[in-house]
Amino acid sequence: MKYLCLMLCIAALGACSSKPPEPVASPPPVATPFDGMRADEQRAKDVQKTVDKQAEDQRKQIEAAQQ
């Protein structure tokens, strides 16, 4: 019985003393149905920024011409 416990302890220590497992790479991101909508929304925001900037430039030109 003593030998059995001793053998089990040695086996457990031997199994635990091996090198750590290599890190597992994370899986690539999964495409969702909303990715296209998010891209469209970002594109619309960028267009709105461009329109706002052009409107501001035009407003400044009109004010400069009136003075």
For residue 57, is it within any domain? Answer: yes
* Between 34 and 4, residue with greater pLDDT: 34
For residue 28, is it within any domain? Answer: no
For residue 1, is it within any domain? Answer: no
- Which domain does 46 fall in, by range? 35-67
Please give the pLDDT value at position 2: 77
Give ∠ CA 5-9-13 in degrees, rounded to 5. 170
* Between 30 and 62, residue with greater pLDDT: 62
- Compute CA distances 39 → 29, 51, 52, whole Å: 16, 18, 20
- Tokens of residue 44, six digits: 């619309």
Q: Is the pLDDT of residue 51 over 80?
A: yes
For residue 48, is it within any domain? Answer: yes
Q: Looking at the 3D structure of the chain, how many domains does it have? A: 1
Alpha helices in 1-67 (DSSP H): 2-16, 35-66
For residue 23, is it within any domain? Answer: no
Average pLDDT value for residue range 24-36: 85
